[in-house]
Amino acid sequence: MYNGSQKHTTSFSRARSIALVVLAVFLLAVVVWLGFIFGWPLAVVLLIALVGWGAVFFLRIRLDAQQSQAFRERQACGVAQNQLDRSERRVQAMLKLNRSLAEASAGAIDAQSLMESALSTISELTGSLGCTFVPIDEWEQPLPAFTYGQLPPAILSAWAGQLAAGMLRERCGSCKVLHSTPGACPLHPAQVGDTLTVYCVPLASSGPVHMVETGFSPGETITSIPAENAAEIRSNSLIKMPSDSQQVVGQQPVGVLHLYLPRGHSLDVETRGFLDCLLVQVALAYEASRLRQQEQVTLRQLQLLHAPKGDFTASLAVLLQGLVQALEVDFALIRVRPGSDERQPLVNIEYGDTSNLSESQLEHMVDQALIAALQGNPASAEPEALPAWLALPLALPEGSVSDRNMKSTSRGVLLVCVNHPYEFHSRQRVILQAVAAQAALLVENERLIRSLEYRIVIQERARLAREIHDGLAQTLAFLKLQAAQMQSYLAQGDLDRLSRILKENYQVLAEAYLDTRQAIDDLRLTPEYGLDHWLEHVLNEFENISGLPVDRDIRALSRPLAPEVQAQLVRIVQEALSNVRKHANARRVSVRLFEHKGETILEVSDDGQGFAAEDVPEITRHGLRGMRERANLLGAEFQIISQAFQGTTMRLVLPASLAEEPS
């Protein structure tokens, strides 16, 4: 802007100089002509006057040029000052945001506080009236929106509600109309009026996907575009989250940022670039904070598994009580500190009288014993020192299974103490070693139980997530598509198709209701009255729901099954019956439970249409995978026997070594 003005001023100055030269030549010719006519004295006076007038005029021109130069310099200083102010605001915004990012990375603030700080910073930086951020989960579904701005809360709340109500993936993803009146577009409610400019920035885990300005004057609105028209009208539309064909590999959608600017305001290229850099950090920090919150929730749920069990601590306490009485010492303690294995229990159990020892003396004694125990060595007090104590490491017995599988056998320390001068003899050391081995076995068993519980919990969570995603989520997605078709048929007045699709919709809803109720019942049932009673309840429920008769051959088992094994067997039967109800088109079902050569065999058969291995539909394959995973968890053999139009048999064989309930 200033270069054009300066060029115009220079051209004007050049033209004025040429005009002055022409005028001076003309006046000189006039003076000479007057000299010839009126005499040279008068001509000299006129010449002096003209020279004086020229000098004054020249000085005036120089003064004007200096003033113009000073004005241009003031303008340049103003521009530089504005740039410095803008740079300072950006630096302050970056520092403020970096503090929030640092707090988020340290876990001091959650994802919500991070986004509130980020939106505040972005709004101040861009001068926007308001901004909203719509997070997107791993299934690319919008979550409740964050809002910030100077607009009335009702307007921001209306925006947030519309953005989080599925509009992001549906209405904006399918809209092709680039003009509407206020109130016709969710991002342009009637309360806003007819003047607004909107910037929409889809964010991915690697930063902004792209940023597009959508300005609209009275009567205009914003929308999103189909992929085939993106290149044509990209500068006029709201960019939706990238479709499967557009999305860059490795980018996980995080959310969409909307900036609402007042009329006449826009984002220049420099501000856009700075905003892109800012949003890269925000997207990464938000995703990391959200994942950290999910991790903390999971860890809190698993902490119940890490708490010492009552029977475990009680067993160690009884062991110490017997040791104090047998060795006639004043007190004994067992201390186990978890190492690299987070499922190693933390144990601190004492029995006896420790009143003669201060807390610092006791901790110093225990620290000495633990240092020696970690190296696999015993430790004891100095001769004639008070109190007298002896400590042995909690080492697993040589040749035990855990000892062969574990490189480090030290689990902590067993310490006994006497408050008067005392020397431990060999018989006491032998007893102490036997008790230390027993305590080590108890600690190792507790660690193995916790590891197994942890693995079962993780596997069950993964299985439930797959079942919800492949079952209920797929059903809801299908119903969503059918609802859109019903709207289309209703608009077209095609009542026949609408009636047909309503019947299909009702059938799918009924199936979804049965699946949901069965899933709830599956989680609610517990083996309080034995496996046969549990199976009878499941079969009666199946007959009531499906209307199919079930032939039962459930025989009493010679050895009772552990409750965990019973639960897995019933879950497998439930999944098998669910597959029969949904896919088999059977008329009768048979369930058998019996023993053969020490093995427990469970069979579920039907006389339905059967299937070939290559023709298994995806939803059925999911159910088979779930049953196989449960069988693998039990260590059982799992088989599916089926041929087209010859029915299907599910067979599970539980070895005798796994069938016994532990005593």
pLDDT exceeds 80 at position 309: no
For residue 249, the Cα-to-chain-centroid distance in whole angstroms is: 18
Looking at residues 519-524, what average pLDDT do you find?
63
Burial (CB < 10 A; 0-12, 13-18, 19+), residue 562, is middle
Burial (CB < 10 A; 0-12, 13-18, 19+), residue 525, is middle
pLDDT of residue 238: 32
pLDDT exceeds 80 at position 263: no
Percent of the chain with pLDDT over 90: 5
CA distance 47 to 52: 9
CA distance 637 to 596: 14
Third-level CATH fold of 114-293: Beta-Lactamase (3.30.450)
Residue pair 362/352 in contact by the 8 Å Cβ criterion = no
Average pLDDT of the residues of the chain: 73
As given in the structure block, the two tokens for residue 75 are 């303008």
As given in the structure block, the two tokens for residue 662 are 């532990």
pLDDT of residue 209: 46
Q: Identity (one letter) of the amino acid at 478? A: F
**Which range scores top for mean pLDDT: 135-139, 415-419, 653-657?**
415-419
**pLDDT tens-digit readout, 367-383:** 888 888 888 888 888 87
Q: Nearest Cα to 359, choosing from 411, 325, 367?
A: 367
pLDDT of residue 215: 39
pLDDT of residue 605: 94
Tell me whether domains 114-293 and 525-663 share a fold.
Answer: no
pLDDT of residue 224: 30
Residue pair 217/195 in contact by the 8 Å Cβ criterion = yes
* Cis peptide bond upstream of 202, omega within 30: no
Residue pair 203/256 in contact by the 8 Å Cβ criterion = yes
pLDDT exceeds 60 at position 548: yes
**pLDDT tens-digit readout, 72-88:** 888 888 888 877 777 77
pLDDT exceeds 60 at position 269: yes
pLDDT exceeds 90 at position 469: no
**Range name among 161-165, 295-299, 464-468 with the lowest pLDDT average:** 161-165
Strand pairing class (331-336; 410-418): antiparallel
Residue pair 336/412 in contact by the 8 Å Cβ criterion = yes
Report residue 591's pLDDT band, with 50, 70 and 90 as the boundaries. very high
Looking at residues 628-649, what average pLDDT do you find?
87
Report residue 482's pLDDT band, with 50, 70 and 90 as the boundaries. confident
Looking at residues 90-110, what average pLDDT do you find?
74
pLDDT exceeds 70 at position 554: yes
**Which range scores top for mean pLDDT: 226-230, 446-450, 592-596?**
592-596
Helix (H), strand (E) counts: the chain: 17, 16
Q: Which one has a higher pLDDT value, 243 or 424? A: 424
**pLDDT tens-digit readout, 48-57:** 777 777 777 7
pLDDT exceeds 80 at position 101: no
Query: 59 CB contacts (<8 Å, ≥6 apart)?
Result: none
Q: Specify the CATH number of the domain 525-663.
A: 3.30.565.10
List the domain boundaries for the chain.
2-100, 114-293, 307-514, 525-663
pLDDT of residue 650: 92
CA distance 298 to 216: 46
Q: Cα–Cα distances in Å, from 408 out to 341, 396, 403, 411, 437? A: 12, 10, 8, 8, 14
pLDDT of residue 239: 33
Quick count: other Cβ atoms within 10 Å of Cβ 194?
A: 14
> Structurally, what CATH architecture does the domain formed by 307-514 represent?
2-Layer Sandwich (3.30)
Structural element, H or E, at residue 534:
helix 531-546
**pLDDT tens-digit readout, 224-255:** 323 333 333 233 333 334 343 344 444 566 77
CA angle at 194 for the pair 188 and 198, rounded to the nearest 5°: 50
Looking at residues 154-162, what average pLDDT do you find?
59
Percent of the chain with pLDDT over 70: 67
pLDDT of residue 616: 57
**Range name among 216-230, 251-265, 405-419, 633-647 with the lowest pLDDT average:** 216-230
Query: 560 CB contacts (<8 Å, ≥6 apart)?
Result: 530, 660, 661
As given in the structure block, the two tokens for residue 549 are 């008769």
Q: Which one has a higher pLDDT value, 311 or 321? A: 321
pLDDT of residue 167: 52
CA distance 631 to 652: 7
Can you point out the beta strands (E) in 86-229?
130-135, 146-149, 196-204, 207-208, 212-216
